[in-house]
Amino acid sequence: MNPFESFRLMSPFGMRIDPINKVPKFHRGVDLVTTPSSGPLYAFVAGEVIHAKEGVKGSGFGGYGFVVAIKDDKGYLHCYAHLSKAMVQVADKVLRGDKVGLQGSTGISTGAHLHYEIRKACSPSFGFTSTEIGVVEPTKYLQDYYAKEGLARVEIKDANAIIEKYLKPAWGTAKTREEKKEIGRLADELRVASGQERQNV
Ligand SMILES: [Zn+2]
């Protein structure tokens, strides 16, 4: 199963001739192209947004243009770089398949594409390392991630029983909008895990 099936793979992970400087350089992610050039991009895995703006020099995202970075439940950081626009904000919780931004060519880039990179850490400097030690090969990471996610699936009747018995009463007595929002999010996590549609968008 290829997690990047809907994209054209422009440049793989690993050693390559750098397209800008024409010297051998380690490519820390994959370069993927979708059409049209400012087409929507969706989260490959769920997580919390910890960066959603133009990367500044020295931050760990210098030259990456507009970057959305999402921390997954294992503490790995998924970086979506060179976007023309970010469509999430810091602290947002996203699910797999949520729209995170629009493809672009911001930062050091030779044309519209998505540079997708998975870092092993989120700090300091958003887990940036100049060598390959700080990143993982994205295709294998996603395949392993999805395989484990598959095992963690929930039966529809169990998911709905938890929602009816615990989450709906909790939602009814929640005092703040934040609490209600969080309960709604948990209910949707259960719905998605059991193959159902989300109800709170
Ligand atoms: Zn790249």
pLDDT in tens, 164-183: 999 999 999 999 999 999 99
**The predicted structure's pLDDT at residue 151:** 63
Compute, in angstroms, the gap from residue 74 CA to the centroid of ligand 1: 23
Q: What percent of the chain has pLDDT over 70?
A: 99
CA of 89 to the centre of ligand 1 (A): 23
Looking at residues 31-51, what average pLDDT do you find?
A: 96
Amino acid 111: pLDDT: 96
Q: How far is the CA of 27 from the centre of ligand 1 (A)?
A: 6
The whole-number pLDDT of residue 147 equals 87
30 pLDDT band, cuts 50/70/90, is very high
What is the model's pLDDT at position 153? Answer: 72
Residue 80 alpha carbon to ligand 1 centre in Å: 10
Q: How does the average pLDDT of the chain come out, rounded?
A: 93
29 CA → ligand 1 middle, Å: 5
> Average pLDDT in the 50-73 region?
97
Q: How far is CA 47 from CA 76, 77, 99, 175, 181, in A?
A: 9, 9, 13, 25, 16
Q: What are all long-range contacts of 9-14, with beta carbons under 8 Å and residues at least 24 apart?
A: 9/33, 10/113, 13/135, 13/137, 13/138, 13/139, 14/137
Domains in the chain, please, with CATH? 8-137 (2.70.70.10), 156-193 (no CATH)
How many angstroms does the Cα of residue 162 sit away from the middle of ligand 1? 42
Q: What is the mean pLDDT of residues 47-63?
A: 96
Cα 179 to middle of ligand 1, angstroms: 39
**How close is the Cα of 94 to the center of ligand 1, in Å?**
23
Average pLDDT over residues 147-156: 77
Answer whether residue 201 shows pLDDT above 70.
Answer: no
Q: How many CA atoms does the CB half-sphere of 201 hold within 13 Å?
A: 5
Ligand 1 centroid from CA 20, angstroms = 11
Section 126-142 average pLDDT: 94
- Rounded Cα distance between 62 and 156, Å, is 44
Distance 135 CA to ligand 1 centre (A): 13
Determine the distance separating the centroid of ligand 1 and the alpha carbon of 30, expressed in angstroms. Answer: 5
Give the model's pLDDT for residue 79. 98
| Cα-to-centroid distance, 201 and ligand 1 (Å) | 31
Residue 51 Cα to ligand 1 midpoint, Å, equals 18
Q: Is the pLDDT confidence value at 23 over 80?
A: yes
